[in-house]
Structures are given as C-alpha cells and as structure tokens.
Amino acid sequence: MWSLLPSGRRLITPEFASGQCPRYDEKDCGPLVAPMPRDISLEALDQTVHRALLDYPPADANSDADIAIDIHRSLPLTRREAADPGPFRYLAILRHPELVRHRWEYRSYATMRDRFWRAGTRHDANAFSRWWWIAELTRDGQDYGLTHRAFSRSSLATHLFSRELCSHRPAIEAAVELFADAPASTLEASLKNLGKMLSVRVLEALDKEELLGLMREARDLEQRTV
C-alpha cells in the first residue's frame, strides 16, 4: 500500500478523468508515491474491486453500501492513517481508477477530478475515501446495518455526510431513522434548521433520542414555514 503525494495531483488530467487515458503505469510514478508507515496488504482489496466491477452495473448508486462495506472490511486502516488522503488517492488514481469511472459517469472534468482527489465524505469526494469513511463512521464493530441504511437513498447520504455532525454516530442514527423517506428538499432544509439549533447546544451531549426530538422540531419548523 502506498500514499500518493500532493505533487501527484498533476496526474488528474482531463484525459485521465474521462478515461481516454485509462491508467498510469505505477512504475513511472515512483517519485509521486511514498510508502505507508506500515505494510498493508492490498490482496483482499484488489479482489473486492474486481468483484464490484463484475457484480454491479455502471453508475449504480444502489451499489454504494455494499462496495463501502467490502472496501472497509478489506482495507484495515486506523483513523490516523485514513486521515491522510494520500492512500485513498493512490487507490483511486494509480491502483483502481476503473472502479471510480465505473461507479461515476463522466459529466464534467471538475467533478470527476474531485472524485479522484478531494478528501472527505462529500458526494463528490475521492470515491475510496468516501466509501471507507462512511462505513467507518456508521459501523458498530462488525455490524454495518447503519451503513446500509445511510446509503439507502443517495440524497440522504449526500446531505448527511457533507456536514460535520456526521462524525457523531448518534446523529447519523437519528437522521437515518427520521429522514429515510423524506423528500430531498425537506431533508436539506431540516438539516439547515438543525444546524442553527445546534449552535446553542453541544452536539456530543445529546444522545440519539434527544437528537431525534431535535430533528423532529427542525423538520416541523420547515413544514410550518412551507
């Protein structure tokens, strides 16, 4: 396992992002990568990626949960290691760019570039970083039930994991329970209201039930406004 250095950003050309230049030879990119602080085998991850390419149709948002869980299980990183975007950039740009292009249809260079490079869990972040981190934030040991539910609707995952509150598991549990079937506009406006409510509260002091109550208030406030 390697980490792609910041200077590796120049590898994401329009031709690479669109797939006209499908991949780089890792041997030519030696100066752009650095070894990880410890050896991490990629055998299981390689198999996961190959299976995903065969099992799921292109541009299938329904595949996100299964891919995220399989990638998390086969990539044993600590949070400290995963805080560095370099390993995820290595996976997306040098090791398995075909999975990024398989999952996401090329629509614009700027967005596709972010799906290879941007760190984090936003919908347009590096695909491997997003899959791994959402699985990490939602799992309970080996139980990935919440991961499945969080990915069950792409608008839910999009709005939830672009906000800081997604680092607090009870907040994810409450949001997934309450907004599973909510229209995207209600979800977005409710989470905005919730953000304002949290500015006078301490998020970490609230458990799932308290957060559910607060989210209901945020949703009702939105519905009253409409």
Give least dist CB 138 to another protein, A. 12
Q: Would you give the binding string for another protein spanning residues 69-88, x where CB under 8 A is met?
A: ---------xxxxxxxxx--
Which residue among 174, 206, 215, 218 contacts another protein (CB under 8 A)?
Answer: 206
The single residue among 204, 216, 220, 223 that binds another protein, judged by CB under 8 A, is 204
Residue 62 touches another protein, criterion: CB under 8 A: no
In whole angstroms, how close is the CB of 167 to another protein at the nearest point? 4
Q: Distance from first CA to last CA of the chain, Å, rounded?
A: 51
Alpha carbons 12 and 84: distance in angstroms, whole number: 19
Only segment of 13-21, 108-116, 133-141, 143-151 that touches another protein (CB under 8 A): 133-141
Candidates 39, 54, 105, 202; binder of another protein (CB under 8 A) is 202
Compute the least distance from the CB of residue 10 to another protein, in Å: 5
Would you call 211 exposed, middle or buried from its count of C-beta atoms within 10 A (0-12, 13-18, 19+)? Answer: buried
> Which contacts of 6-15 are long-range, i.e. CB under 8 A and separated by 24 or more positions?
7/31, 7/32, 8/32, 8/33, 8/89, 8/93, 9/117, 11/93, 11/94, 12/93, 12/113, 12/116, 12/117, 14/109
Q: Please give the torsion angle defined by the CA atoms of residues 47, 49, 54 and 59, in that order, rounded to the nearest 10 degrees.
A: 170
Where along the sequence are the contacts to another protein (CB under 8 A)? 5-7, 9-10, 31-32, 34, 37, 78-86, 133, 136-137, 164, 167-168, 200-206, 210, 214
